[in-house]
Amino acid sequence: MDDRRKNYRAWDAQQSSHEPVSPREAPPEDDLVFFLLDLIPQMDLTPFHQYYAQELRGQPPFDVTMMVILLVYAYSVGVCSSRKIAAACERNLAFRAIVANDPPDFRTISDFRKIHLAAFRPLFLEVLRVAGEMGMVKLGNLSTDGTKMGANASRHKAMSYGYMNKQIERLEAEIEQLLKQAEQVDTEQDAALGSRRGDELPDELKRREERLAKIREAKARLEAEARAKAEEEQRRRDEEQAKREAEGRKRRGKEPAPIDPTPEDKAQTNFTDAEAKVMKQSNKGFDYSYNAQAVVDSAEQIIVAAETTSEANDKQQAVPMAQAALDNLNAAGIEQPKAADGTPKPIPNTADTGYFSKEAVEELEKMGIDPHIATGRQKRTCARA
């Protein structure tokens, strides 16, 4: 038997315990964390500071600049969970370079995000303005895309409109029975207890009343959505009819069925996150999600617009996202490239087939956007030898 084996580099897990490690020295010099540590303190963080201006009680809060850098860095490297950020502050040298020896806990991080949610938008525009000043936004091409992000909701906690009606009838009957039962109990206890308390309703009645209220609230949401869709459909029909009359044409085919403003029995809503909608996921399954949209400048991958929507289809997002990008560029003072004659050059905008529609292309062109949107999926063919 051959006893020879490959030599390995010397390794001693205890060696690092005798060596001081500085979070500022361990990461490479070009790490994003050092860029943010230099950049963000130079920015106007007044909207963040204003929250604490009138509150002088209690323990001093964590430094606002440190918290802003922490969240911006965490989100930039894809760490969105407050608990994971807090864990990284204890284990990750780049995060330790920000928080030093006083890491905030996950609740502090979560509360800071909630409190200052509105202040992050001006900060986003400020970062975009700096990127423009540094020549990092070229506007040679803006890429638009979306991704489905899971919502804090479960399909198992949803209920259809038809089932809601059945549940409301059942719960109303049960509540009526419980009220009669409570009245009978009160009468018996009044006779036995006299002036002492004995009139509390059963806990079971309270639970059913709460559930009935939630179901009615969810039912009202579905009905409001159905009415909005019916009104939109009616507007679309009226516009088509007006166009036909102006052109002297008659409708072809049968008259469309009357618009029904009531929800379909299979229409569903969720009790934990009413705004989320069931969407197709990348794994081909379906779950409650939001559709996150982003417009990115291709030169340095600078995000110029980002939004979330509860609409599963990207087709309706091409124009709003382009408008959001133009608004942010204008607010950041980034001018559109000029042609030789001094007129603004259309900004190229690429997107996949999910964003294509004739109306979207026409509207984008009116906005000064040069759309490059796929009109369909390319069929794959297998070459034979």
Whole-angstrom distance, CA of residue 70 vs CA of residue 94: 10
User: What tens digit of pLDDT does each residue of 35-55 get?
Assistant: 899 989 998 899 898 888 877
User: CB of 268 within 8 A of CB of 163?
Assistant: no
The pLDDT value given to residue 198: 46
Return the pLDDT at 202: 58
Q: For residue 31, what pLDDT is reported? A: 86
Mark the ranges of the chain whose per-residue pLDDT is less than 50: 196, 198-199
Residue type, 34: F
pLDDT at residue 293, as a whole number: 92
Interacting residues of 276 by C-beta distance below 8 A, sequence separation 6+: 151, 152, 153, 270, 288, 289, 290, 310
The pLDDT assigned to 178 comes to 66
Burial class (CB within 10 angstroms; exposed 0-12, middle 13-18, buried 19+) of 12: exposed
pTM over 0.85: no
CA–CA separation, 66 vs 108, rounded Å?
A: 13
Going by their DSSP bridges, the two strands 347-351 and 369-373 should be labelled as parallel
Instruction: Write out the E strands in 79-219.
Output: 142-150, 158-160
Q: What pLDDT, in 10s, does the model give residues 307-339?
A: 988 888 898 999 999 999 999 999 989 988 888
Look at the chain and count its residues: 385
**Quick one: three-class SS letters along 117-132?**
CCCHHHHHHHHHHHHH
Phi and psi at residue 183, to the nearest 5°? -60, -40
The pLDDT value recorded for residue 69 is 92
SS3 state at 81: coil
pLDDT for the residue numbered 236:
82
pLDDT at 148: 84
CB atoms within 10 A of CB 264: 12
pLDDT for the residue 30: 83
Q: What is the pLDDT of residue 111?
A: 92
Distance (Å, whole) CA 46 – CA 63? 13
Q: Supply the Cα-derived Rg of the chain in whole angstroms.
A: 30
Tell me what pLDDT residue 18 has: 60
User: SS3 helix, strand, coil % of the chain, rounded to 5?
Assistant: 50, 15, 40
